[in-house]
Structure 1
Amino acid sequence: MPRVAAPNDRDDWLGLTDRQLPITEAYEWAVIPRCGAVVLFSGTVRDHADGRTDVQHLTYEAYETQVRPVFESITAELRTRWPETGRVVLLHRTGQLELEESSVIAVVSAPHRPEAFEAARYAIDALKEAAPIWKHEVWADGSDWGTGANDIADPRNVRT
Structure 2
Amino acid sequence: MSRFAISAAPIDTQALRRALESHGAGACVTFEGWVRDHHQGRAVRGLEYEAYAALAQAEGERVLAEACARFDLVAAACVHRTGTLALGDIAVWVGVSAGHRDAAFSACRYVIDEIKQRVPIWKRESYVDGDAGWIHPDRTPR
Question: What band does the TM-score fall into relative to the shorter chain?
Answer: over 0.9
Displacement of 1:50 after TM fit?
1.6
Alpha-carbon distance in structure 2 between the residues aligned to 1:76 and 1:128 = 16
The code of the aligned residue for 2:86 comes to E
Q: Distance in 1 between matches of 2:63 and 2:105?
A: 16
TM-score scaled to structure 1, two decimals?
0.82
1:119 counterpart residue number? 107
Distance in 1 between residues matched to 2:9 and 2:126, nearest whole Å: 20
- In structure 1, what is the equivalent of residue 3 of structure 2? 13
Aligned Cα root-mean-square deviation (Å): 1.4
| CA contact 2:34–2:92 (8 Å) conserved in 1 | yes
2:93 alignment partner, SS class: strand
- The amino acid across from 1:92 in the alignment is H
Query: Displacement of 1:150 after TM fit?
Result: 2.3
Describe the superposition over 1:47-91 as per-residue Cα deviations: whole angstroms up to 9, x where unpaired.
0012312x01100000001011101110121123112x0111110
Distance 1:27 1:126 in 2: 20
Stretches of structure 2 lacking an aligned partner (at least 5 in a row): none
Partner SS state of residue 38, structure 1? strand
After TM superposition, the structure 1 = structure 2 runs for residues 55-66 of structure 1, keeping only pairs within 5 Å, are: 55-66=44-55
1:33 to 13, 23, 26: 23
Q: CA deviation at 1:40?
A: 0.7
What's the offset of the Cα at 1:14? 1.4
Letter in 2 for 1:88: A
User: Which residue of structure 2 lines up, in the alignment, with residue 149 of structure 1?
Assistant: 137
Preserved CA contact (<8 Å) 2:96 2:108: yes
> How much has 1:31 moved relative to structure 2?
1.1
Q: Aligned pair count?
A: 138
Which segments of structure 1 move beyond 4 Å, counting only runs of 4 or more? none
2:35, 2:53 → 1: CA distance? 21
- Superposition pairs of residues 51-130 of structure 1, within 5 angstroms: 51-53=41-43, 55-83=44-72, 85-130=73-118
Using the size of structure 2 for normalisation, the TM-score is 0.92
Structure number with greater CO (CA < 8 Å, separation at least 6) is: 2
**C-alpha distance in 1, partners of 2:107/2:137?**
23
More strand by share: 2
SS at 1:87 equivalent = strand
Once residues 51 and 131 of structure 1 are traced to their aligned partners in structure 2, the CA distance between those partners, rounded to angstroms, is 26
Report the identity percentage.
Answer: 35
